[in-house]
Structure 1
Amino acid sequence: MDITPEAVVIPKETGHLEQGRYGPVFPRTPACHGFTIVAGVKPGRAAAIRDHGHALAKALEDDPYLLAPLKLHYLRWVLFDDDTRFMYQGIFDTDFDKYTEDAIALFSRAGVNTAFENLEGFPEDWRTNPEAFVRFVREHQCPSFVEYGEYPYVTADEIKKALRIKNALSEMLDQLQ
C-alpha cells in the first residue's frame, strides 16, 4: 500500500453536499473528518474551561479509553483574546452526525459536563436536544478550506494497529539479539 501525502480543497458552498441528519455532510479529507468552532467565553468562565481541561486529563488517566467511542485523532482547545474566546478543533474518523450523537451519549452516560457549557449561547438542554447542540456548533463553525494528510485517510484504529505491529516486531527483533 503506497501512502502518498495528499491535500483536498473543501468547497465553500455546501448546497450540493449530501444532507445528513444535522445539515451538510462534509467530505472525508486526507485528515479524516473534523471541525473547528470559535465562540465567546461567558464572562469569568475561562478558569472553568481550563479546570475542565484538567478534569478531562484526569478522567483520561483513570480511563484512557473514555473518549474511544469518538474515534478521535486529535483535540485542541485554545483560549485567546485575553481569555474571551475559545477555539475547539477536533479531528476524528466518523462523520459529523455520528460524532455529535456519540459525544452527547458519551458525556451523558459518563455524567460529564462539556467545556462548551462555559460558552456564550451554548444550549442548556444539550444532553436531550442534539439539534440545539448541532445548531450551536454549526453557527460557530469555521470550516477549513484545505486539509492535508501526511498519511491520508488512515483511521486512528489503523494507526494504533500499525504501532502495535511495530512494537511487537521490535520486541521480537530485540529478543533475537
Structure 2
Amino acid sequence: MTTHPEKPARPGAIDGRTSEFTLFFKVKPGHGKLLRDIFQQRSFDQLSRQVTEQIGTLHDARWVLFDEDTRLMFATSFDGDWDVYIEEFARRIPQIFDDILTHAEDYPGINAPVIKEYIVAHQVTACSYFRAIPDATVRDLRKARAVYKAYDKLVEEYS
C-alpha cells in the first residue's frame, strides 16, 4: 500500500474559491528609500499589470512600506492552491520578488529551496476576509467581461 504524505497546512483565509495572502517583512536598515524608488518607477505598475495577466489567478496585489519604512507588507488575493501560486511567482516573475525582497531581512531568493518556509514564516492570516463575489475566479471575471463587451457592441450595432 502506497501512502502519500499529507500536504502541509498553509496560512491564509479563504472565501469561496479565493484566498487572501498577506506577508510582512522587516526592511534592512537604510533600504526604505531604495524600495520607495522601485515602487515609484513608472514601469513598476506596468510590469505589475503584466504579471497579473501572466499569473492568471491573481485578483489584486499591493505593497505597503510602513513604520517609517522599516517594515514592508505584500498583500494579494488569488484563486486556487497556495503552493501552485508560489510556484507560479517563482517560475514566471522571479526577478520582481528578488529585486524587492533583497531589501528584506534574511530573504533567501525566490528560487531557494527554503522559499516556501520563508514565506510561511512571514505570512499572517487575516482576521477577516471576504469577497463580494466569492465564487468568481479571475478567469470567470475575464469571461464575463468579454461577454459584456460583446453584448454591448451588439446592442450598439442595433441601436
Matched, 1:149 2:138: no
**Partner residue, 1:59:** 47
Percent identity reads: 24
What are the equivalent positions in structure 2 for 1:22-101 lying under 5 Å apart? 23-25=8-10, 28-30=14-16, 32-53=18-39, 54=41, 55-60=43-48, 64-67=49-52, 68-69=54-55, 71-101=57-87
Stretches of 4+ aligned residues off by more than 4 angstroms = none
Aligned CA distance change for structure 1 residues 58 and 162 (closer, same or farther; 3 Å): closer
What is the root-mean-square deviation of aligned Cα atoms in Å?
Answer: 2.3
Is residue 176 from structure 1 mapped to residue 148 from structure 2 by the alignment? no
Superposed displacement of residue 98, structure 1: 0.5
Residues 31 and 76 (structure 1 numbering): CA distance in 2 closer, same or farther, change over 3 Å? farther
* Alpha-carbon distance in structure 1 between the residues aligned to 2:107 and 2:37: 18
Shift of 1:47: 2.5
Whole-angstrom CA distance in 2 between matches of 1:107 and 1:38: 20
Structure 2, unpaired ranges of 5+: none
Q: Residue 110 of structure 2: which of 126, 131, 143 is its match? A: 126
TM-score, normalised to structure 2, is 0.81
Asked whether the equivalents of residues 17 and 137 of structure 2 are also in contact (C-alpha less than 8 Å), the reply is: no
User: What's the TM-score once normalised by structure 1's chain length?
Assistant: 0.74
